[in-house]
């Protein structure tokens, strides 16, 4: 399919590109493609960024048949534009699509469309160290119909948001609240996908955690509320007695691309790492035994987020004296180095746009 | 707050009002009201039905912070317009709102707005016996922002869809598939609310059930996958050995208004009825013992839907010889009689518009 390009005739004034907030400003263009049953995906186009016009009966407003992805483009010092493992995002988007009864995308085509979009809006990529163009592909159901069934029509879009450092004041350890009342999801449901409902369900617990002074919640499994699953928008890793452990992919947690990259790096470095079931009691026992050495979250937005405090019921666990751990720092430096081009890309993770 | 009214200058051609499909056509007007943090709900207005213009970054497209309701308006033989327990819908909408971190509505104001809208579009209420104007109130998050947090802005809308009989060929018993792989939700999550994510999560199992020849799935609980919860868009009732039983409200099933009305009617009639935990094994045991006498679903769309067959793993349970049971028929006749005005409204459930 050929992608038609309509350039804006009224480029927007760019915001100050230093210390940009996350996900608030959007670049001049967006990619759009439609789907109709019997016709497939059609009319791929890059057009000026602008509003969608949808009937109030559009299914996305009622039954949340919607999925999304998130990835970043960086401009390296030599001016090249770099994407981090973009094929993985569109492969995962197809996993989400399958669970949500949404038609699949052609992964190669999507990466190509993304490259064209980012190339066109390359002036929107902030050059401040660690800043990036956050890229948000998403699909919404657009049938004008109130029955509960898969939509026959969809829109796929990619929008781009220049975003500053996730932690403008540096990589400070965050405080995480272990959620023991609310549940995010359960095996058999949609926890392994990036669908809106998982996030809608998570908002209330997050609001309460914020009020208590915690930046995010750590979810426990939906069946027994005993096993660690993931943090609000990140996967979670622990270093216990020299071994790095992270919850296994059990159908209710997201298969994060930063998670995957972290595991691959640790294996390459010869650091013991395992994916398995981890109870919160085990974490607390390790803490009490002085063996909980590091804890960090992984996700596209923050990349690596050191955890300095975990609160579980009445137990407050201060980790590594609230300092960034050695492995945490090394993973952060390596992934951001590869993303921005200051370190060699030995794993072939980066796709350059130009 | 005063509701401004802008009447359409180009009324739509009405579809043939006999045997209308469900949720496909929409009346000439809609109610809209906006919310902004610090300002509250504002600018309530009835305007011509038409598209919404939203930025692609609007939170509803990404994190599904959205809730809805469903109720019906009937025109009785003497021309009066009747709503069935509308206060219950807006009270429940506030329960959904609280869980989804959406600001509450003023229930009395909403019923008043709904009356004005339905009065204006009263010619859109089909007069065929059993047909109605299906009413869909809904709220969507509209912040133009990609962070995961409650939106600071929302839109509340009410749209109306003239809809025919849910079962145009009469009240035929349906076949239901007991879902043992996929899970809809779990206690601690959003199962008791009417939020899009619950429905998005349900679509795939429903597609598979359809392919197997079943009209809907019966969900089991998310923890043990043993206890009966609800059907795709209905609550479920069983008559076992003379007693009517329905799953108790446990936090993961919807508190249906037709469910509530059914229980109230049964109590009034002196029919034994209990809300409790019911395992699918208990249902199967009762079936094998010849004591599973009736089964029916309750919901706004279908009102009462007799179940003629339940399939659980390899067990096929044919209920009441695939005929409508006596209690099922009586509940259906009474609720629809009250809704349409052919039976006295002894419970004061009906609110007339004019």
Which chain B residue has the Cα nearest residue A182?
B188
Query: Is the per-residue pLDDT at B277 higher than 90?
Result: yes
Alpha-carbon gap, residue A70 to A136, rounded angstroms? 5
Whether residue A174 contacts residue A215, with contact meaning beta carbons closer than 8 Å, is answered with yes
What per-residue confidence (pLDDT) applies to B165? Answer: 82
Alpha-carbon gap, residue A224 to A278, rounded angstroms? 12
Percent of the residues in chain B that have a pLDDT greater than 70, as a whole number: 99
Whether residue B206 contacts residue B217, with contact meaning beta carbons closer than 8 Å, is answered with yes
Which chain B residue has the Cα nearest residue A138?
B62
Contact A101 B203 (CB under 8 A): yes
Question: Phi and psi of A352, rounded to 5°?
Answer: -90, 150
The alpha carbon dihedral of B144, B149, B154, B160 has a sign of positive
Beta bridge partners of B134: B72, B161
Contact B233 A148 (CB under 8 A): yes
Whether residue A232 contacts residue A176, with contact meaning beta carbons closer than 8 Å, is answered with no
How far B269 CA sits from the closest chain A CA (Å)?
33
Alpha-carbon gap, residue B294 to B173, rounded angstroms? 11
Instruction: Please tell us whether the domain made up of A4-165 is placed in CATH 3.30.1010.10.
Output: no
What per-residue confidence (pLDDT) applies to A167? Answer: 74
Q: Which helix (H) or strand (E) holds A341?
A: none
Q: Would you place residue A1 in the very low, low, confident or very high pLDDT band (cuts 50, 70, 90)?
A: confident
Q: What mean pLDDT value characterizes chain B?
A: 96
Q: What does the pLDDT average to over B15-38?
A: 95
| Nearest CB to A100; choose among B189, B200, B206 | B200
Whole-angstrom Cα Rg for chain A: 21
Hey, is A233 helix, strand or coil? coil
Instruction: Please tell us whether the domain made up of B174-340 is placed in CATH 3.20.20.80.
Output: no
Contact A22 B146 (CB under 8 A): yes
- The closest alpha carbon to A87, from A65, A114, A48, belongs to A114
Residues of chain B with C-beta less than 8 angstroms from the C-beta of A63: 196, 199-200, 203
Domain-by-domain residue ranges, chain B? Answer: 4-165, 174-340
Q: Which helix (H) or strand (E) holds B59?
A: none
Alpha-carbon gap, residue B231 to B177, rounded angstroms? 9
Query: Which of A272-281, A305-314, B163-172, B247-256 shows the lowest per-residue confidence on average (mean pLDDT)?
Result: B163-172
Hey, is B333 helix, strand or coil? helix
Show the beta-strand stretches assigned E in A164-225: 174-178, 216-220
Whole-angstrom Cα Rg for chain B: 21
How far A48 CA sits from the closest chain B CA (Å)?
12
Q: Would you place residue A289 in the very low, low, confident or very high pLDDT band (cuts 50, 70, 90)?
A: very high
Residues of chain B with C-beta less than 8 angstroms from the C-beta of A207: 101, 149-150
**pLDDT tens, A139-160?**
999 999 999 999 999 999 999 9
Q: What does the pLDDT average to over A125-130?
A: 90
Query: Is the per-residue pLDDT at B18 higher than 90?
Result: no
Alpha-carbon gap, residue B200 to A202, rounded angstroms? 16
Contact B24 A148 (CB under 8 A): no
- The closest alpha carbon to B176, from B232, B203, B215, belongs to B215
Whether residue B86 contacts residue B114, with contact meaning beta carbons closer than 8 Å, is answered with yes
What per-residue confidence (pLDDT) applies to A171? Answer: 82
Q: What does the pLDDT average to over B9-22?
A: 92
Contact B159 A56 (CB under 8 A): yes
Calculate the CA A341 to chain-centre distance: 21
Whether residue B27 contacts residue B162, with contact meaning beta carbons closer than 8 Å, is answered with yes
**pLDDT tens, A223-241?**
999 999 999 889 999 999 9
**pLDDT tens, A72-111?**
999 998 889 999 999 999 999 999 999 999 999 999 999 9
Calculate the CA B121 to chain-centre distance: 21
Q: What does the pLDDT average to over B239-258?
A: 97
What per-residue confidence (pLDDT) applies to B6? Answer: 98
Q: Best of B133, B180, B197, B200 to disrupt the A interface by mutation (most A CBs within 10 Å)?
A: B200
Whether residue B176 contacts residue B218, with contact meaning beta carbons closer than 8 Å, is answered with yes
What per-residue confidence (pLDDT) applies to B182? Answer: 95
What per-residue confidence (pLDDT) applies to B130? Answer: 83
Contact B183 A184 (CB under 8 A): no
Q: Would you place residue A330 in the very low, low, confident or very high pLDDT band (cuts 50, 70, 90)?
A: very high
What per-residue confidence (pLDDT) applies to B348? Answer: 97
What per-residue confidence (pLDDT) applies to B35? Answer: 98
**pLDDT tens, A26-79?**
999 999 999 999 999 999 999 999 999 999 999 999 999 999 999 999 999 888
How far from B303 is each of A176, A255, B131, B235, CA to CA, in Å? Answer: 45, 41, 12, 10
What per-residue confidence (pLDDT) applies to A166? Answer: 77
Contact A66 B64 (CB under 8 A): yes
Q: Any idea which residue has 């919607």 for tokens?
A: A66
Q: Tell me whether domains B4-165 and B174-340 share a fold.
A: no
- Is this complex scored with an ipTM above 0.95? yes
**pLDDT tens, B110-141?**
999 999 999 999 999 999 888 999 999 999 99
Query: Is the per-residue pLDDT at A168 higher than 80?
Result: no
Beta bridge partners of B30: B47
């Amino acid at each position: 399919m050929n992608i038609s390009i309509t350039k804006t005739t009224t480029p927007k004034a760019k915001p100050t590109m230093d210390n940009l907030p996350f996900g608030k400003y959007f670049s001049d263009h967006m990619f759009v493609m439609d789907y109709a049953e019997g016709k497939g995906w059609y009319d791929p186009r890059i057009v000026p960024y602008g509003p969608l016009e949808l009937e109030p009966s559009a299914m996305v407003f009622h039954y949340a048949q919607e999925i999304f992805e998130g990835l970043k483009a960086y401009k390296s010092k030599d001016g090249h534009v770099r994407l981090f493992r973009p094929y993985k995002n569109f492969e995962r988007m197809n996993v989400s699509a399958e669970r949500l009864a949404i038609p699949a995308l052609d992964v190669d085509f999507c990466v190509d469309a993304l490259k064209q979009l980012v190339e066109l809006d390359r002036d929107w990529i902030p050059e401040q160290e660690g800043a990036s163009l956050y890229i948000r592909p998403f699909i919404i159901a657009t049938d004008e119909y109130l029955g509960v069934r898969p939509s026959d029509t969809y829109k796929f879009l990619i929008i781009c948001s220049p975003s500053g450092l996730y932690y403008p004041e540096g990589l400070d350890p965050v405080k995480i609240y272990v959620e023991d009342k609310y549940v995010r999801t359960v095996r058999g449901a949609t926890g392994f996908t990036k669908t809106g409902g998982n996030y809608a369900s998570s908002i209330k617990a997050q609001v309460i955690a914020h009020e208590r002074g915690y930046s995010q919640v750590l979810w426990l499994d939906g069946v027994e509320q005993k096993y660690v699953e993931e943090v609000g928008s990140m996967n979670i890793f622990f270093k216990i007695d020299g071994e790095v452990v992270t919850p296994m992919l059990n159908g209710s947690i997201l298969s994060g691309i930063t998670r995957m990259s972290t595991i691959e790096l640790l294996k390459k470095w010869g650091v013991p790492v395992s994916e398995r079931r981890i109870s919160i009691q085990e974490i607390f026992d390790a803490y009490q035994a002085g063996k909980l050495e590091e804890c960090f979250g992984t996700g596209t937005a923050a990349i690596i987020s050191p955890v300095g405090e975990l609160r579980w019921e009445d137990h407050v666990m201060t980790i590594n004296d609230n300092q960034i751990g050695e492995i945490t720092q090394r993973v952060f430096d390596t992934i951001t180095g590869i993303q921005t081009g200051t370190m060699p890309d030995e794993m072939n993770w980066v796709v350059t746009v130009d």
